[in-house]
């Protein structure tokens, strides 16, 4: 039996999924981790990358052996995915020159603005080129030593295969892509080099950027060193082919079959973003909208918000702590450990019983900065007035609607300013794991039908596993679109929820209150 492995390094979890040639999950493994705020940057410890990958793979291999009665020795192909964007730079000896600076950092506002104005193309704060520009112009001591700039997925792929490669979609979060060539925009590369002339750098930009490949191209083979990094037991055989590494944006598109024009998806977890594959370019430059690409190089509009479920999850954990404390005081047996799935189900479903506008409550979920509304930092905020209807139901609904509010502000640009008619979005990610709740409230928030596929829980790890499996199909001349439509999603179960007019009206009231609360948020950032 042929098997294909996908591993995604997400914001809160490293997850691995092993599939067969029809996309059916065979085994899985994972490793929980969290970003840290250190020395002024959101980051992850690189040691945790390798410990997490090994734990994830070992758990997956054990799951496979338990299910099929034999060790996992051979894999047909592998794909690596990770959080897009950010800043990860190496010297000539492959040593990291700074901490890995994630997509969550918003310190690049000035650089992003300068590059956007110079290129005439929106450069978001989290893109690699914005971080590089800031490092050079603020004269950080490491910039002369850089020989390689990549992303988290690109870094892991390099260490496993020895190849400095990223997929087209991943590359489009580093530097603008020319979709006619599926490579970095050469005019903009030359412009950047001209901007940097006064700094007497020993490199040009093309010296630093990884090569770009589209979906289905062979991106290298697992080396002996790479096999030891992934599987310290030594069972995994070398020579396994890899697909190009992709970001979580690209894998989300694949996992939801949203790679053809006017298809779209919403990924809602630590951050939330909506993707829409474009038929034609937007009419004007919108600083709030990123233009990236699908794994095959088609342009896509991205509405990205840094904050989604982090504040919500913190409150759920607090309620869980209360229940644990109560159980402890009542001498409940340790075996009755708190069921997190049931806790989320209970609290999320309470939100469906809340008032459509949350009864006058409002929550601002900004744990970090939020470029969509102009915040460099965040302060999670909950506010109620003396006459608000303060109940668990309204409180939970407020937290959930808060996780969708900034996305709606960005989506208005596509639907109202650009006049794009969107038929539906496919949702995936943690917000949609609890059946119906996130899907129903998101439909009301965006006033659009929201579909969820049966495979939504597998997420980006499943998406990159599909791209690994696509290697063989591309060799036979099959397009990614046809492969997904005909071989993977032809018989997929899809649940679609239409927007409820009551939810739509209630969210509009809530959104107006949310916009007003942003002034309170701004004061909180300035004074706390």
The whole-number pLDDT of residue 153 equals 97
Phi, psi (rounded to 5 degrees) for 193: -60, -35
Q: 374 lies in a domain?
A: yes
The whole-number pLDDT of residue 456 equals 53
User: Where residue 444 sits, what CATH number does that domain have?
Assistant: 3.30.420
The whole-number pLDDT of residue 183 equals 97
What's the mean pLDDT when you consider all of the chain?
93
Average pLDDT of span 27-33: 95
Provide the pLDDT confidence category of residue 336 given band limits of 50, 70 and 90: low
pLDDT per residue over 109-123, tens digit each? 999 999 999 999 999
- Does residue 332 surpass a pLDDT of 70? no
The whole-number pLDDT of residue 473 equals 83
Average pLDDT of span 3-11: 95
Provide the pLDDT confidence category of residue 377 given band limits of 50, 70 and 90: very high
**Residue 99, CA distances (Å) to 9, 44, 82 in order:** 17, 8, 16
Distance CA(189)–CA(376), nearest Å, equals 27
- Does residue 333 surpass a pLDDT of 60? no
Distance CA(441)–CA(24), nearest Å, equals 29
Query: Which of helix, strand or coil describes residue 97?
Result: coil
Q: 462 lies in a domain?
A: no
CB atoms within 10 A of CB 170: 34
Q: 138 lies in a domain?
A: no
The whole-number pLDDT of residue 269 equals 86
pTM exceeding the 0.75 threshold for the entire prediction? yes
Spatial neighbors of 292 by CB under 8 A, at least 6 apart, are 169, 172, 173, 177, 249, 275, 299, 300, 302
Distance CA(407)–CA(101), nearest Å, equals 23
- Does residue 331 surpass a pLDDT of 80? no
The whole-number pLDDT of residue 74 equals 87
Q: 78 lies in a domain?
A: no
Q: Are strands 77-82 and 148-150 parallel, antiparallel or unpaired?
A: unpaired
Q: 74 lies in a domain?
A: no
Average pLDDT of span 144-151: 98
pLDDT per residue over 406-415, tens digit each? 999 999 999 9
112 in Cβ contact with 158 (< 8 Å):
no
Write out the residue range of the structural domain in which residue 384 sits: 310-453+501-527
What secondary structure does DSSP assign to 418-478, as a single string? S------EEEESGGGSSTTHHHHHHHHHHTS-EEEETTGGGHHHHHHHHHHHHHHHHHTT-
pLDDT per residue over 42-92, tens digit each? 899 999 999 999 999 999 999 999 999 999 988 999 999 998 889 999 999
348 in Cβ contact with 438 (< 8 Å):
yes
Query: Which of helix, strand or coil describes residue 499?
Result: coil
Report the percent of the chain where pLDDT is more than 70. 98
Q: What's the structural domain count of the chain?
A: 1
Report the percent of the chain where pLDDT is more than 90. 80
Closest listed residue to residue 268, CA positions, set 454, 456, 23 = 456
The whole-number pLDDT of residue 335 equals 45
CB atoms within 10 A of CB 500: 14
Closest listed residue to residue 104, CA positions, set 405, 407, 404, 368 = 368
300 in Cβ contact with 282 (< 8 Å):
no
The whole-number pLDDT of residue 385 equals 95
- Does residue 451 surpass a pLDDT of 80? yes
Comparing 57-66, 208-217, 252-261, 391-400, which segment has the lowest mean pLDDT? 252-261
Q: Are strands 165-167 and 211-213 parallel, antiparallel or unpaired?
A: parallel
Phi, psi (rounded to 5 degrees) for 381: -140, 135
Comparing 44-58, 137-151, 469-483, which segment has the lowest mean pLDDT? 469-483
- Does residue 458 surpass a pLDDT of 70? no
The whole-number pLDDT of residue 169 equals 95
Distance CA(57)–CA(494), nearest Å, equals 30
Distance CA(82)–CA(154), nearest Å, equals 8
Phi, psi (rounded to 5 degrees) for 290: -90, 140
Average pLDDT of span 232-254: 94
Average pLDDT of span 248-276: 90
pLDDT per residue over 190-232, tens digit each? 999 999 999 999 999 999 999 999 999 999 999 999 999 999 9
Q: 520 lies in a domain?
A: yes
Q: 460 lies in a domain?
A: no
Q: 469 lies in a domain?
A: no
| Comparison of pLDDT for 208 and 126, the residue scoring more | 208
The torsion angle over the Cα atoms of residues 380, 305, 166 and 233, rounded to 10 degrees, is 40
Q: Are strands 77-82 and 4-9 parallel, antiparallel or unpaired?
A: parallel
The torsion angle over the Cα atoms of residues 374, 137, 84 and 204, rounded to 10 degrees, is 150
Query: Maximum Cα–Cα distance for the chain, whole Å?
Result: 70
Q: With left for phi above 0 and alpha for psi between -120 and 50, is residue 21 left, alpha or beta?
A: alpha
């Amino acid at each position: 039996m042929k098997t294909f492995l996908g591993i995604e390094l997400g914001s809160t979890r490293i997850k691995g999924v092993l599939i067969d040639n029809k996309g059916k999950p065979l085994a899985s493994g994972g490793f929980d981790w969290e970003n840290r705020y250190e020395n002024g940057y959101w980051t992850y410890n690189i040691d945790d990358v390798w410990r997490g990958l090994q734990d994830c793979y070992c758990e997956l291999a054990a799951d496979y052996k338990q299910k099929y009665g034999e060790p996992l020795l051979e894999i047909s192909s592998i794909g690596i995915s990770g959080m897009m964007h950010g800043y990860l730079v190496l010297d000539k000896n492959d040593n990291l020159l700074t901490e890995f600076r994630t997509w969550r950092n918003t310190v690049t506002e000035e650089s992003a603005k300068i590059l956007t104005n110079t290129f005439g193309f929106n450069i978001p704060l989290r893109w690699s080129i914005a971080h590089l520009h800031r490092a050079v112009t603020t004269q950080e001591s490491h910039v002369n030593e850089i020989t390689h700039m990549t992303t988290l997925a690109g870094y892991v792929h390099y260490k496993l295969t020895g190849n400095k490669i990223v997929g087209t979609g991943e590359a489009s979060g580093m530097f603008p892509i020319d979709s006619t060539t599926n490579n970095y925009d050469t005019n903009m590369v030359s412009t950047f080099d001209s901007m940097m002339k006064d700094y007497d750098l020993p490199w040009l930009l093309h010296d630093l950027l990884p090569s770009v490949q589209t979906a289905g191209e062979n991106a290298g083979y697992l080396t002996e060193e790479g096999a030891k990094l992934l599987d310290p037991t030594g069972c995994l055989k070398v020579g396994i082919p890899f697909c190009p590494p992709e970001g979580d944006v690209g894998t989300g598109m694949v996992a939801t079959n949203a790679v053809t024009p006017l298809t779209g998806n919403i990924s809602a977890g630590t951050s939330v973003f909506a993707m829409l594959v474009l038929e034609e370019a937007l009419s004007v430059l919108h600083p709030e909208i990123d233009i990236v690409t699908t794994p095959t190089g088609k342009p896509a509009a991205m509405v990205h918000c840094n904050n989604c479920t982090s504040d919500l999850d913190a409150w759920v954990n607090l309620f869980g702590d209360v229940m644990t404390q109560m159980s402890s005081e009542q001498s409940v047996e340790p075996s009755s450990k708190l069921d997190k799935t049931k806790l989320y189900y209970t609290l999320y479903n309470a939100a469906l019983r809340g008032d459509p506008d949350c009864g006058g409550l409002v929550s601002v979920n900004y744990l970090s900065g939020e470029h969509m509304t102009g915040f460099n930092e965040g302060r999670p905020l909950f506010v109620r007035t003396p006459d608000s209807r303060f109940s668990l139901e309204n409180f939970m609904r407020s937290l959930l609607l808060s996780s969708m509010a900034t996305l709606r502000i960005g989506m208005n640009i596509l639907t109202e300013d650009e006049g794009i008619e969107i038929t539906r979005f496919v949702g995936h990610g943690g917000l949609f794991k609890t059946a119906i709740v996130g899907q129903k409230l998101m439909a009301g928030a965006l006033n659009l039908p929201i579909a969820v596929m049966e495979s939504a829980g597998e997420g980006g790890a499943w998406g990159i596993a599909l791209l690994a499996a696509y290697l063989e199909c591309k060799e036979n001349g099959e397009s990614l679109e046809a492969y997904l439509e005909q071989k993977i999603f032809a018989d997929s179960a899809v649940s679609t929820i239409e927007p409820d007019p009551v939810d739509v009206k209630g969210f509009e009231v809530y959104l107006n209150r949310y916009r007003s609360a942003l002034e309170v948020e701004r004061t909180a950032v300035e004074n706390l």
